[in-house]
Amino acid sequence: MTAYLTIRDVAKSYGRATALRRIDMEIARGEFLTLLGPSGSGKTTLLRILAGLLEPDRGALVLDGRDITRSPAWERDIGLVFQNYALFPHMDVRGNVGFGLEMRGIGGAEAARRIDEALDTVSMRDYGARRPSELSGGQQQRIAIARAIAIKPRLLLLDEPLSNLDAVLRQSVRVELRELHQRTGLTTVMVTHDQVEALTLADRVALMDGGELLQIDPPERLYECPASAFAAGFLGSPPANLLSVEPHSEAGAIRLCGALWRPTGPAAAALSGLRGPARLALRPETLRLLAEPAPGAIPGRMKAVEYMGGERLAHVAIDGAAPGTPALLVRGAGALADPGQLVYVLPGSVTGVFDTDSGARLAPAQAGV
Amino acid sequence: MRRFALSGFTILVVLFTIAPLLVLVFSSFDDGKFFRFPPRELSLRWFRAAFASAEYRSSLFNSAVVGLLATIISVTLGTAAALGLQRGALKSRAALEMVLLAPLTLPLVIWAIALLQIYAWLGIGGTLPGLVLAHATFTLPFSVRVMLATLSAIDPGLELAARSLGARPWRAFARITLPLALPGLATSAALSFFISFNDVIVSTFIAGSSWMTFPVRLYSQLRGQGIDPTTLAIGTMVIASILIVVALSELFSRKALRT
Amino acid sequence: MTARGPASWLTAPGVALIACVFLAPFALLVAMSFWSQPNGTLLVDPTPTLVNYERIFSDGYYLRGLGRTLWLSLVTVAVSVVLGFPVAFWIARRAGRLRRLTMAVMLLPIVCGALLPTLGLVNLLSPLGIVNGTLKSLGLIDRSIPLLGTQTGILIGLVQAFLPMMVLPLVAVLDRLPPSYEEAAKSLGARPAQVWRRVVLPLAAPGLIAGSVLVFCASLTSFVTPQILGQGKIATFAAMTWQQASLVLDWPFASALAMVMLGLMAALGGAVLVLRRGARS
């Protein structure tokens, strides 16, 4: 991969609070990257540094071979779509879309042509004379995108672009964003805290937490092979069960949340090298609920079943688990089991085994690493 | 750099805004009969003179009485009006609000000239009721504004919750809304009192010799004889009491927010 | 809510007070300005006449006073804009204690009335005062610059007194201007000066107009500050009005003078409304 945008050793703090610890990242030309993380993870800070609205304490940004670390926002040619759209209320739609062109000294027929082009891209050609206040949220968002791409930016930044839209609209705009990216080929960085957005839109997802970049990978890999306990516990709805595991004196047995368990299959393989306490991540949809005991199954008692439309989410209390252990979540279509019933949970695959303290991945080894 | 310049500029302008008051306080401690800079000697001479002067004492007393009575009317009517605006029918709200806030936008001098003549016909020129009525009128919009802001910050769901728990509307208001509005009530009372206490623009037209307020006395003295350093000491004490009230209300409202 | 209708009645006492004591006198003022007071008497003749207005517009004394006052008011507005805009911008971009402190300082001149600051200003501006004393000790001047009794002195007093009327409406407008507007303009290639001219200024215009009207009206009708700082040497229009009402006791004439100020303000308000309607369409 040849880097189009390089983020090297970027850090930022506000007084004593560290917003970004040390970020290194490379983004390819034409890539769609999402910055995913909980609030306070530093993703927005990084986006603002890219846009030139914040100056990093140290580090460098190189865009298309040019160091832009110290260039002011107005010289970067970077399109930015704000969470609240930030459409200028005193200008009409064409005034907004043409603002960047005007700043570049482009006027007359050329400007009109490019405004039309940008409005066509978001199918808003007929709305040119409207004021932002006369547009719906979804329409405002399209105009904000049109305004950002009208300047033919070298990089398109999207700050939580879908968060102010309702659920139905969000889904259709998501598809449109993907199409827009394919049509324009613009290198795009999008900030979001919504994992569905991140996973569905991006070529690669950069997962951030506490001002650090935890993992940057294609969506499938991030989901199926998380590099850290945090990643396993952040992605998925509900996210992976994180269970404490310890070696047991008995061969082939494991202490699972304090209870004895004899794993088989992939679980046994993943836990074979276990030396000390660790955390086992099992995704709810990879678990199977059985009514009868089976080899490798974890015995437990059904606490509650939530019907989620088409499928159910079972909360299972592991038999003999230490007090305070959260229930094991199992997602599936089965209608099995009433609360109070004895059940057996069989892991189909293992998402990962992680170090208890550092959260680093211990097993199974990541393919290709 | 740019932000630094803006902050510096702001500090300078803020200083300019309070400089006259700072100078007033500073010069009240100067020993001389005529203030000169740099000062020669500092003393509390003018403060002693202020306490000793029966003339100033009586005018200060008049100002305080007018201020207190006007404040009671202003806060009571202002709170009621704010409640009515907030909870009443919406269609007339804009017009009613405009009427209630009119004294903030129309110049008081012009009003005072008209009031002077009306008071003369009614025979209440220079009387306590006349002064109180006028002061209550021009301080009312401040009470309305503060109470509107205070009431709109209170979640209307709280009073409904109290009613659902069995409180009758009046009790729900007295037990829930009123205590929560207390900081706002204190603020509007302080604002009304000091604006009334320090008013010269209206009072100079309608105050007579029997109910001479302190600013009116000070104004005529300034036009005639120039500055009497005793008034500087009194001014300092007025400013000090304003600052004390502001500091207290800040403390009070922070405590109210915490609980 | 059951109490919707009756709650409106809570506004009645306040509205009645303002309507009877504040608004009604304005209506009477119109009538009184057309009455007259024959020379040397204190008796008012309620026969409608234009003598008061004729006197104002034929006597150079009042016209000159009006011109001087208009000029002072315009300069006060201009200086307030220059000083007030950056301050309002600074306040609007801040939260917490520093903002509250600055706002409290801006409210002080309102709470302290017209006299206390003027009292301090006299000591600040007098020949032996702080400004002259400092300049002398720095060796910048030998002889005191006259500030008291000059238009400059009055101007300083007016700006000091009315600056908050510019800052507060501006803060209200700028508070509703999210920083993302400026950032969006920047990211689209606007330099700081262009951001101000194309985005901040147009959006702050309503506050700027409101503040300017307020400062203008307050300066136009101010008489305490000009009288004390002008040391009685410079008569402003409002001071002339005060003099007629309080010293000469010619109330009909004072009413007419007040009506002239009211008319000027109404004209200004009308012009602003027309301008705003024009800008909207």
Q: Tens digits of per-residue pLDDT, B207-216? A: 888 899 999 9
Confidence tier at B30 by pLDDT (50, 70, 90): confident
Is residue B256 scored above 90 in pLDDT?
A: no
* Contact status, residue B230 vs residue B33, Cβ threshold 8 Å: no
Nearest to B145 by CA among B200, B85, B72: B85
Residue A203: both structure tokens together:
């070529």
Chains A and C touch (3+ CB pairs under 8 A): yes
Interface of C with A in 184-203 (CB under 8 A): 184-191, 194, 198-199, 202-203
pLDDT tens per residue across span A339-360: 888 999 999 889 999 999 988 9
Residue B168: predicted pLDDT = 87
End-to-end Cα, chain A, rounded Å? 17
Residue contact A73–C183, C-beta within 8 A? yes
Q: What is the pLDDT of residue B234?
A: 94
The Cα of A147 is separated from the nearest Cα of chain C by a number of Å equal to: 8
Calculate mean pLDDT across residues C153-164. 95
Give the pLDDT mean for A321-333.
88
Indicate the SS3 state at residue C163: helix
Cα separation, B198 vs B108, in Å, equals 14
Output the CA–CA distances (angstroms, integers) from residue B14 to A351, B19, C146, in the order listed.
61, 8, 24
Burial of C199 (0-12, 13-18, 19+ CB in 10 A): buried
Residue C38 near chain A (CB below 8 Å): no
In angstroms, what CA-CA distances link C167 with A144, B109, B221, C83, C102? Answer: 32, 23, 32, 9, 11
Cα end-to-end span (Å), chain C: 40
Distances (CA, A) of A329 to A241, A353, C11: 7, 17, 59
- Predicted local confidence at residue C227, as pLDDT: 93
- CA pair distance A19, A174, nearest whole angstrom: 28
Q: Which of B117, B137, B219 sits opposite C251 (nearest CB)?
A: B117
Give the span between the Cα atoms of C145 and C141, in whole angstroms: 8
Our CA-based measurement puts residue A91 at a distance from the nearest CA of chain C, in whole angstroms, of 9
State how far the Cα of C87 lies from the Cα of C164, in Å rounded to an integer.
Answer: 10
Say how many CB pairs under 8 Å bridge B and C: 266
Q: Which residue of B has its CA nearest to C210?
A: B105
Q: Which pLDDT score, from 0 to 100, does residue C3 have? A: 45
The domain over range A3-227 is classified in CATH as 3.40.50.740: no
Q: Rounded distance, CA A283 to CA A330, Å?
A: 8
- By Cβ distance, the residue of C15, C29, C218 closest to B113 is C29
Q: Is residue B37 over pLDDT 90?
A: no
Distance CA B234, CA B50 (A): 6
pLDDT band at C133 (very low <50, low <70, confident <90, very high): confident
The side-by-side arrangement of strands in the sheet containing A361-363 is: A259-261, A254-256, A241-247, A278-282, A352-355, A361-363
Contact B205, B160 (CB under 8 A): no
- In A, minimum Cα distance to C184 occurs at A86
Backbone angles phi, psi at A37, to 5 degrees: 175, 165
Chain C CB contacts of B226 below 8 Å: 122
Nearest by CB: B103 against C22, C113, C137: C22
- Which class is B50-258 in CATH? mainly alpha
CA distance A73 to chain C (A): 5
Fold of A234-367: OB fold (Dihydrolipoamide Acetyltransferase, E2P) (2.40.50)
Contact between B231 and B30 (Cβ < 8 Å): no
Residue, of C141 and C80, whose pLDDT is higher:
C80
Pairing of strands A212-217, A241-247: unpaired
Contacts of C128 in chain B (CB under 8 A): 34-37
Verify whether the Cβ–Cβ distance B89 to C4 is below 8 Å. yes
> Which residues of chain A lie closer than 8 angstroms to C191, CB-CB?
72, 74, 103
Q: Which long-range contacts (CB under 8 A, 24 or more apart) does B6-12 make?
A: B6/C86, B6/C89, B6/C90, B7/C90, B9/C86, B9/C87, B9/C90, B10/C86, B10/C87, B10/C90, B10/C91, B10/C102
Q: List chains touching A (3+ CB pairs under 8 A).
A: C
Kindly report which listed range (A231-240, C47-56, C270-279) carries the lowest average pLDDT score: C270-279
Q: pLDDT tens for residues A8-63? A: 999 999 888 899 999 999 999 999 999 999 998 999 999 999 999 999 999 999 99
pLDDT recorded at residue C19: 94
Query: Residues C193-197: what's their mean pLDDT?
Result: 93
* Tens of pLDDT, residues A190-248: 999 999 999 999 999 999 999 999 999 999 999 999 999 999 999 998 999 999 999 98
Taking CA–CA distances from C204, the nearest residue in chain A reads: A90
Q: What is the DSSP string of C210-271?
A: HHHHHHHHHHHT--HHHHHHTTTSS--HHHHHHHIIIII--HHHHHHHHHHHHHHHHHHHHH
Cross-chain CB nearest to B36 (options C102, C128, C228): C128
pLDDT value, residue A333: 66
Question: Of chain B residues 203-232, which have a CB less than 8 A from chain C?
Answer: 204-205, 215, 218-219, 222-223, 226-227, 231-232
User: Which whole-number Å values give the CA distances from A190 to A48, A76, C188, in the listed order?
Assistant: 11, 17, 18
**How open is the CA angle C147-C149-C153, to the nearest 5 degrees?**
45
- Any chain C CB within 8 A of the CB of B137? yes
* Neighboring chain C residues of A145 at a CB cutoff of 8 Å: none
Cβ atoms of B150 and B198 within 8 Å: the answer is no
pLDDT bucket at A124, cuts 50 / 70 / 90: very high
Chain C partners within 8 Å of A74 (Cβ):
186-191
Contact C115 B35 (CB under 8 A): no
- Residue A363's DSSP bridge partners are A353
Residue whose C-alpha is closest to residue A345's, from A304, A290, A263, A292: A290
pLDDT average, residue stretch C125-152: 88
Question: How many CB atoms are closer than 10 A to CB A260?
Answer: 13
Q: Are strands A155-159 and A188-192 parallel, antiparallel or unpaired?
A: parallel
The answer on pLDDT for A1 being more than 70 is no
Q: Which pLDDT does position A336 carry in this prediction? A: 67
Answer yes or no: do B246 and C25 touch at CB < 8 A.
Answer: no
User: What confidence score (pLDDT) does residue B197 get?
Assistant: 97
Best mutation target, C186, C187, C194, C196, to test chain A (most A CBs within 10 A): C187
Q: How much is the pLDDT for A16?
A: 86
CB-CB contact of A243 with A282 (8 Å) = yes
Residue A369's pLDDT is 39
Distance in angstroms (rounded) separating the CA atoms of residues B233 and B227: 11
Query: Is the per-residue pLDDT at A151 higher than 60?
Result: yes
Determine if residue A315 is left, alpha or beta; phi over 0 gives left, psi from -120 to 50 gives alpha, anything else beta.
beta
Average of pLDDT values for C196-213?
Answer: 94
Per-residue pLDDT, A368:
43
In this complex, does chain B touch chain C, defined as having at least 3 beta-carbon pairs under 8 Å apart?
yes
Interface size between A and C, measured as CB pairs under 8 A: 65
AA identity, residue A140: Q
Residue A283 to residue A241: CA distance in whole angstroms:
6
**Looking at CA atoms only, how far is residue A291 from chain C in angstroms?**
55
Residue C115 has its nearest CB partner, among B23, B194, B198, at: B198
How confident is the model at residue A197, as a pLDDT?
Answer: 92
* Mean pLDDT, residues C263-281 taken together: 86
